[in-house]
Amino acid sequence: MTNVKIKNALLSVSNKENLLDVVKVLNKFKVKIISSGGTHKYLKKKGYKSIEISKYTGFKEMLDGRVKTLHPKIHAGILHDRKKKTHLKEMKGKKFPAIDLIIVNFYPFQKVVTQTKNHEQIIDNIDIGGPTMVRAAAKNFKNVLIITNIEDYKEFIRELVKGKGSTKLEYREKLASKAFGLTAYYDAMITNWFNKKLQINFPDRKVFFGRKYKSLRYGENPHQKAAIYINDFKDRETGLRKIHGKDLSFNNYSDIYSSLDILSYFKKSNTTVIIKHGNPCGVSSNRSRLLSFKNAFACDPVSAFGGIIACNFKIDKKTATEITKNFCEVVVSKGFDKQALNILKSKKNLRLINFSKYKSLNKTITKFFDNSFLMQEKNLRIMDSKKLRFVSKIKPSSKDLKELEFANKVCKFVKSNAIVITKDMSTIGIGAGQPSRLDSCKIAIQKARIFRKNKVKNSYAASDAFFPFRDGIKSLAKAGVKNVVQPGGSLKDKEVIEEADNNKVKMILTGLRHFNH
Catalytic residue numbers, as ranges: 139, 277
The answer to whether 286 and 269 have CB atoms below 8 angstroms apart is: yes
Q: One-letter amino acid identity for 112?
A: V
Q: One-letter amino acid identity for 6?
A: I
- Give residue 34's region: left, alpha or beta (phi > 0; psi -120 to 50): beta
Strand 271-276 to strand 279-285: parallel, antiparallel, or no bridges (unpaired)? antiparallel
Dihedral sign, CA of 165, 168, 169, 170?
A: negative
Tell me the C-alpha distance between 176 and 160, whole Å: 17
Strand 271-276 to strand 308-311: parallel, antiparallel, or no bridges (unpaired)? antiparallel
The answer to whether 255 and 363 have CB atoms below 8 angstroms apart is: no
Tell me the C-alpha distance between 426 and 448, whole Å: 11
Q: How many CB atoms lie within 10 A of CB 48?
A: 17
b/e 57-87 (16+ beta carbons within 10 angstroms → b): bebebeeeeeebbebebbbbbbbbeeeeeee
Residue among 362, 424, 392, 383 at smallest CA distance from 497: 392
Q: How many CB atoms lie within 10 A of CB 426?
A: 25
Q: One-letter amino acid identity for 322?
A: E
Tell me the C-alpha distance between 221 and 381, whole Å: 34
